């Protein structure tokens, strides 16, 4: 990424270019890898909060070093610290901590399903605060993706066990937090700020929140469990650092609503890895819903180019 100052992230009528689509697929795929890696680490006995802290703190430090090497160290002014605290809580700490607690109960596939919801929630929030304008192709594509999500979580794609309902309800905290973070980052993005520094600050801000949770719950004593899976921890840190470089670049070039479709890609990866790596099984109805979600992503990406001329007067 360039070390020169960047413009405010796109918010109105973003250009959905090939770059945007490639960033969407690569970022969503890498974030989707969180599910199998985390489940594998938990299977080895790593506690949830230490795992979340190591991921965020390690990735934040790597990103901070990258930003400094580009001549753009992480700023520490009051405005930036407020941004890092809010963005770190909404986009990093809260969704990841919730994920790590629900994942052992729901599995990689079901835990990833709720990540189909941030696009519609982000769009609604963005429209409410007027940083997005309605666009029929984007709305149609996001609506189609949401329909696919309903196919997955609806009656015919119901939970394997009624006892999981409470954990599934907790999982819905994740998409609400992610959507709020998407909108907040666009509204509060400091003018002229560099995305590498903001990504680093967000990760470190999230790590600070998780450390508070570690202290408040007495889970600091669980930090040594990271030694049970050092290789997986290192892999997760490296992948997370690289992912958030792409994540913030996508926010700049495509805006919060387009970026929120990462959740659709994450769900597809989560369902796939749950099946291939952990033997989780889903109905044909669930896989059909995943196909509808993919169609929604493509409509948002290329709908205007493919159909606008056909329906123009």
Round the average pLDDT of the chain to a whole number and report it: 81
Is residue 106 within 8 Å of residue 167, measured between CB atoms? yes
Tell me 1's DSSP state.
-
Identify which of 182, 211, 196, 181 has the alpha carbon closest to the alpha carbon of residue 73: 196
Supply the pLDDT for residue 120.
77
Is residue 49 within 8 Å of residue 219, measured between CB atoms? yes
Residues 170-222: tens digit of each pLDDT: 988 998 998 899 899 889 988 888 888 998 999 999 999 999 999 999 989 99
Supply the pLDDT for residue 282.
67
Q: Which whole number is the average pLDDT over 70-78?
A: 88
* Chain center to CA of 224: 27
Supply the pLDDT for residue 2.
32
Provide the whole-model pTM. 0.76
Over 70: is that where the pLDDT of 40 sits?
A: yes
- String of DSSP letters for 48-113: HHHHHHHHHHHHHHHHHHHHHHTT-PPP-SHHHHHHHHHHIIIIIIHHHHHHHHHHHHHHHHHHHH
Supply the pLDDT for residue 3.
32
Identify which of 112, 115, 217, 221 has the alpha carbon closest to the alpha carbon of residue 176: 115
Residue tagged 């919730």 (tokens): 98
- Specify the higher pLDDT residue, 167 or 209: 209
- Maximal C-alpha separation, the chain: 67
Residue tagged 């007495």 (tokens): 218
Supply the pLDDT for residue 131.
77
Tell me how far apart the alpha carbons of residues 102 and 241 are, in angstroms, rounded to a whole number: 23
- Specify the higher pLDDT residue, 237 or 129: 237
Supply the pLDDT for residue 160.
64
- Specify the higher pLDDT residue, 18 or 11: 18
Supply the pLDDT for residue 238.
92
């Amino acid at each position: 990424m360039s070390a020169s100052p960047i413009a405010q992230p796109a918010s109105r009528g973003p250009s959905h270019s090939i770059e945007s689509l490639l960033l969407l697929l690569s970022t969503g795929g890498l974030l989707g890898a969180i599910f199998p890696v985390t489940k594998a680490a938990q299977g080895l006995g790593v506690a949830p909060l230490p795992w979340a802290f190591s991921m965020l703190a390690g990735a934040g430090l790597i990103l901070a070093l990258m930003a400094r090497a580009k001549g753009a160290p992480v700023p520490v002014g009051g405005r930036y610290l407020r941004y890092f605290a809010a963005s770190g809580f909404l986009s990093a700490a809260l969704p990841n901590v919730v994920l790590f607690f629900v994942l052992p109960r729901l599995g990689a596939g079901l835990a990833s399903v709720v990540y189909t919801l941030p696009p519609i929630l982000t769009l609604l929030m963005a429209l409410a605060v007027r940083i997005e304008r309605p666009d029929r192709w984007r709305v149609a594509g996001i609506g189609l993706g949401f329909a696919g999500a309903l196919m997955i979580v609806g009656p015919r794609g119901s939970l394997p066990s009624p006892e999981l309902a409470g954990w599934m309800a907790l999982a819905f905290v994740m998409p609400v937090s992610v959507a709020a973070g998407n909108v907040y980052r666009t509204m509060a993005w400091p003018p002229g700020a560099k995305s590498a520094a903001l990504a680093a600050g967000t990760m470190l801000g999230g790590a600070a929140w998780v450390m508070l949770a570690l202290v408040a719950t007495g889970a600091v004593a669980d930090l040594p469990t990271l030694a049970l899976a050092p290789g997986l921890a290192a892999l997760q840190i490296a992948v997370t650092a690289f992912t958030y470089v792409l994540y913030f670049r996508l926010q700049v070039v495509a805006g919060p609503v387009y970026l929120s479709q990462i959740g659709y890609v994450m769900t597809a990866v989560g369902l796939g890895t749950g099946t291939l790596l952990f033997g989780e099984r889903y109905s044909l109805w669930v896989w059909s819903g995943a196909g509808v979600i993919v169609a929604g992503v493509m409509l948002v990406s290329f709908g205007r180019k493919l159909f606008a001329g056909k329906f123009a007067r």
